[in-house]
Structure 1
Amino acid sequence: MLIIAVVVFSLSLVSARPSPFLGFGQTSSSASTTPLSQDTISATLLKPARFSQIAYCSTAAVKAWDCGAPCQSVPDIKVLLASGDNADIPDFYVAYDPSSQTLVIAHQGTDPENIQSIANDVALGLTPISSTEFPSAPSGVKVHKGFQETFLRTSSQITSLVSKSLTSQSPGPITNVLVTGHSLGAAIAVMDAIDIKTNILTGSLTGIKLDCVVFGLPRGGNQDWANFVDQTLGTSLSHTSNKNDPIPTLPPLFLSFQHPSGEIHITTSGDNVACPGQENKNCSDGNSVADDKLSDHDGPYFGVEMGSDACTA
């Protein structure tokens, strides 16, 4: 945790510099936020938060769907795959939720006690997006080097299983795909969602609904990346930031990183608001470095705390 805190603190000091750093092409917004109803939160955000929490439990517990309260909060799930080494490959799982006919892909965030896991975050350079995985991406798209390398370690395994499950409609009828994750897992989930949307949900599968609902999302690429995400996922993407969590403000704008649209912000007073634009000054982009609170990164997100503390196995 100390290593992450030092990195976060150093980058936060830089990212807190004023608006001249927006001269690299980033767009910001001061548009008014819109309150979210509890009904909207319960219908669209709460269950994904629970699935993201479960990604922090051990793969053995996830395979058996026996991880205590987190697994009990979303019962009767059929697990198709649970894997990862909690290091180079953060733990992840693919499962089927028969109650909503949804195929779920969920990714764990960074393990602060594993140096290999931390290395996925601190490989900060922008690199061209993989033309193999994302053939439809415009030529100017660049992404976080560490995030893309982490994504590529699992992408073929995940897309193969997703494609097989959707084509065969097994282990049951599938009408929806949900991709979720927290922190590093959120960054991977966004790449997964674009991969699935552009490479799998075509032809006879275009009628399958895709949602990418993530939490504590760091910036994952340049302005062209943010635009590509917006154009590809549109309103199917939502990324929730919690109070004064510094992670959504990293990597900093001055390094040419940019968020896509779709932010939902939990304010310091506990209100839940939708934030128009790619970088809204009324939401996480308006946070002051003086108020940064790393503990906000784990939540709670609508009552759900991320991390393995709630897991019993």
Structure 2
Amino acid sequence: MKPPLTSALVVRTCVCTTLVLVLLFSSLAIFAPLYFHPLPGNHTTTTTPAFPDASPTAVVYNISNSWRALHFCKSAYCPVDAVVNWSCGSACGNATTDFHVFNVYENASTGNSGFSGMDHEAGKIVVAFRGTANTANWIQDLDFWSMPYPHPACGELCAIHRGFYKAYDSMREQLLQDVLAMHAQYPTYSLFITGHSLGGAIAVLSAIEFTTWNLPRTHSPLADNLSVSAAVPTGVTAADDPAHLMPVELYTFGEPRVGNVYFTNWSTSVLSQERQFRVTHARDPVPHLPPRSWGYLHVPQEHWYPADDSVYMRCADRSDAEDPACSNSVYSTTVSDHLLYLGTCTRCSCNAATMEEIYNYTLSPEVEALLATEYLIDHTPPAAVHSR
């Protein structure tokens, strides 16, 4: 689906070019309810620069782990009783067959939920988050309010989406206590965090915090003495002694942008690039929100599936820019692409009723116009932008 261009606005002269840009940027005012508070920093810092031929960091994307992560996300959409008993059919079975649920987290006000537990088959502590049940309404109601990121190591210029942090903070304290308890019981297990949609944003915030905790890989008095109030980095980094720190692995699906360029730069330095994967699918609109023109920027590393099959692209995104050749290369307004990943639906069950609902989801004209504006801004030729 191509963006709705008006045929009368064909760029033929410098005067026409200026008119097009004025109309495009003026259209942002039309969506005042959607554009609230820009993030700190010059918005031009998020403009995509020229990219190298390959990512500066060699990243190994594990399709099997991605499949398991997706099914943990699917399980998070299942009824609580089914999750607690790990009896949610193929959603649970395709994730792992030997799983003990430690706790379930629900937030009625935000509509998101998740769970934690131990995957004894893989030797991992798992934390999984789902998005909201009504995806179309959530996209429609998504605002762009920001807030300072409350981690002192990130710096005062770091800002994140206020709603995403509120959703994470609503379950944060209990989650941190639970992971510490599981880590004390299984100190050799690694930490596996995953999330879909809004759950992907929560997963990013969770993974960053746990990484800065620098939990030891083997049991020690340090693990016994840690508390939620001690969520400030100990000063030990993975570069100092990575073999003795619990690895944190992150897989997200259809994740929205979480913070600004300062947040992304810092979080990229914290998270291991070999262990964080942002999976996107075809024309999924959610990864394009909140918009880059308002200072938001994705955390690497994107892996884009252009279609429903197993062919994907390892994208060349960095801590200061997103790859224009991956999901940013298409005009993305297909809600069903947000609810279908790796050839399956992201809901608990993919029965006929669920699939019909998925394919009937549509975006509002306001959100489609917003995405069209972002697409046009991203794909306006540089010569046209600088014309006078």
Q: Counterpart of 2:269 in structure 1: which amino acid?
A: Q
Pair 1:125-2:145 in alignment: yes
Instruction: Identify which of structures 1 and 2 has the higher relative contact order when contacts are C-alpha pairs closer than 8 Å and 6+ apart.
Output: 1
Pair 1:175-2:189 in alignment: yes
Question: Residue 208 of structure 2 aligns with which residue?
Answer: 194
Q: What secondary structure sits across from 2:127 in the alignment?
A: strand
Q: What secondary structure sits across from 2:344 in the alignment?
A: coil
CA distance in 2, matches of 1:293, 1:120: 14
Matches within 5 A, 1:1-313: 23-28=43-48, 30-32=51-53, 40-73=61-94, 74-85=96-107, 87-88=109-110, 90-112=112-134, 118=138, 122-130=142-150, 134-169=151-186, 174-201=188-215, 206-235=244-273, 236-268=275-307, 270=309, 271-278=311-318, 279-289=322-332, 292-299=333-340, 301-310=341-350
Contact 1:87 1:114 in 2 (8 A): no
Cα distance change, pair 114–150 in 1 and its aligned pair in 2 (3 A) = farther
Cα distance change, pair 267–120 in 1 and its aligned pair in 2 (3 A) = closer
- Please give the per-residue CA displacement for 1:183-228, whole angstroms capped at 9, x wherever unaligned: 0000000000011111252696752111011110111110011111
Contact 1:32 1:282 in 2 (8 A): no
Q: What secondary structure sits across from 2:174 in the alignment?
A: helix
CA distance in 2, matches of 1:62, 1:107: 12
Contact 1:266 1:272 in 2 (8 A): yes
Q: Counterpart of 2:121 in structure 1: which amino acid?
A: S
C-alpha deviation, 1:85, in angstroms = 4.1
Q: Counterpart of 2:184 in structure 1: which amino acid?
A: T
Cα distance change, pair 165–269 in 1 and its aligned pair in 2 (3 A) = closer
CA distance in 2, matches of 1:256, 1:45: 29
Q: Counterpart of 1:250 in structure 2: which amino acid?
A: L
Question: Residue 4 of structure 1 aligns with which residue?
Answer: none
**Normalising to structure 2: TM-score of the pair?**
0.66
CA RMSD after TM alignment:
2.8
Percent identity, aligned pairs only, is: 24
CA distance in 1, matches of 2:270, 2:325: 25
Contact 1:120 1:146 in 2 (8 A): no
CA distance in 2, matches of 1:218, 1:266: 16
Cα distance change, pair 43–304 in 1 and its aligned pair in 2 (3 A) = same
CA distance in 1, matches of 2:71, 2:196: 11
Contact 1:107 1:181 in 2 (8 A): yes
C-alpha deviation, 1:150, in angstroms = 0.6
**Normalising to structure 1: TM-score of the pair?**
0.80
Question: Residue 372 of structure 2 aligns with which residue?
Answer: none
Cα distance change, pair 181–207 in 1 and its aligned pair in 2 (3 A) = same
Task: Name stretches of at least 5 consecutive residues in structure 2 with no aligned partner.
Answer: 1-29, 36-41, 224-243, 352-388
CA distance in 2, matches of 1:305, 1:31: 34
Q: Counterpart of 2:335 in structure 1: which amino acid?
A: L
Contact 1:30 1:280 in 2 (8 A): yes
Higher gyration radius (CA)? 2
